[in-house]
Amino acid sequence: IVDQRQKTEAYKNALQQILDAGEPEACKDFVHHMLTDEVPLVISRQLLLMFAQGISRLPIAAHVSVATAALERLQPRVVSFEDSVVLLRETLAEALEKEEEWSRAAQVLSGIDLESGGRAMEPSYKLSKNIKIAMLYLEDDDSVNAEMHIKKAAALISSCKDEGLELQYKTCYARILDAKRRFLEAALRYYELSSIRPAAAGSLQLDEGDLETALRSAITCTVLAPAGPQRSRMLAALYKDERSSRLGDLYPFLQKVYLERILDRAEVEAFAKGLKPHQVALVGGGGTVLDRAVVQHNLAAASRLYSNIRLGALGGLLGLSAEAAEAVAADMVAEGRMAGSIDQVDQLIHFGSKVEVEALLRWDDSIRAAC
């Protein structure tokens, strides 16, 4: 066919027949032919864009196979077919997401050049793609790649007026902090999310279930955070929030943590059932994040009950050896998260003994002066 209009119509009909037949090999042959010198660029651009729009009709397995092969052929000439490549990547990522291939879907989306000068891209489009990629990586607990893309989103969030995107950004950022075990920061973010009012949220489409999930996450992260004044303030805010009392399974545990009562093993095991994999992962020095948090909490609780205690008895209370109990106590005192002093000669730890500590420091100064 010599006439360009007739040639285009003939190709459109051929494409329609190929898509209706749903044969992956025929689809791949069509892409290969479109990139040959026989087809003028003005026609191949139009037809490949139609192809990218149409292959989502194929079964998922065929769609993934065809789109992957098409991207391999188009990538070297992405400048000429940028619109088609972007659409192919977006639809392929959706198909992979349905198959729960989260990281692969994220990699496909991250192949879109969001800084390209060939296409005019709105900041909201760039923001939405970076947030989507980060959320996909989080589904596979890949917090490193997720953080890289959420940082790119952070540079765009100030120019965004879409409340829905802002909410997704905040949710994603909280989950990244959680995954990186920065629990106190994550708890603050989750609590902020839980305080959004559905009525005031407008287009955010929040419901009470979402807010309750955020509140539960805030409580969990606060419990797992290292003991200290900031954690205590966060616990107070959560305990005094009337919504927390409606969480029947979680509230008794929160209450004991807030009131600094010693936690027993059965309560801790029941709480651990609701944790995510990264929250029960092993940490340096042995034990899990939860084990470390419970030991520090029980030590802080013991400091409220006792004026002093032998290291062996403290170890029994915490489920540790005397040496391990001493190491935990020393860290907490040194970091200012607990007032006290350790007498290694008599194997005693004195709680809240600021006067004794000052006296010991003066004694050290006197020894230093004498020497």
Pairing of strands 308-310, 348-351: antiparallel
For the chain, what is the mean pLDDT? 86
Dihedral sign for Cα 336, 337, 340, 346, please: negative
CB-count exposure of residue 182 (10 Å: 0-12, 13-18, 19+): middle
pLDDT tens digits along 217-268: 999 999 988 877 888 899 999 999 998 988 888 898 999 889 888 888 888 8
Choose the weakest-confidence range: 3-12, 29-38, 261-270, 345-354.
345-354
pLDDT tens digits along 143-166: 889 999 998 888 888 877 777 888
Q: What is the pLDDT of residue 94?
A: 92
Q: In the β-sheet with 340-343, what is the strand arrangement from edge to edge? A: 308-310, 348-351, 340-343
Calpha distance 116→112 (Å, rounded) = 9
Query: Global pTM?
Result: 0.74
Calpha distance 328→326 (Å, rounded) = 6
Domain boundaries, the chain: 1-99, 306-370
Residue range 74-101: mean pLDDT, rounded: 90
Q: How many CA atoms lie within 13 A of 317 on its CB side?
A: 22
Q: From 145, 153, 192, 152, select the one nearest 169 (Cα to Cα).
A: 153
Confirm if 110 and 131 have CB atoms less than 8 A apart.
no
pLDDT tens digits along 92-147: 999 999 998 999 999 999 998 887 666 667 888 888 999 999 999 988 888 889 99
Name the band, by pLDDT with cuts 50, 70 and 90, for residue 204: low
**Domain 306-370 class in CATH:** mainly alpha
> Is the per-residue pLDDT at 367 higher than 90?
yes
Residue range 274-285: mean pLDDT, rounded: 77
Calpha distance 139→104 (Å, rounded) = 11
Find the radius of gyration of the CA atoms of the chain: 30
> Is the per-residue pLDDT at 51 higher than 60?
yes
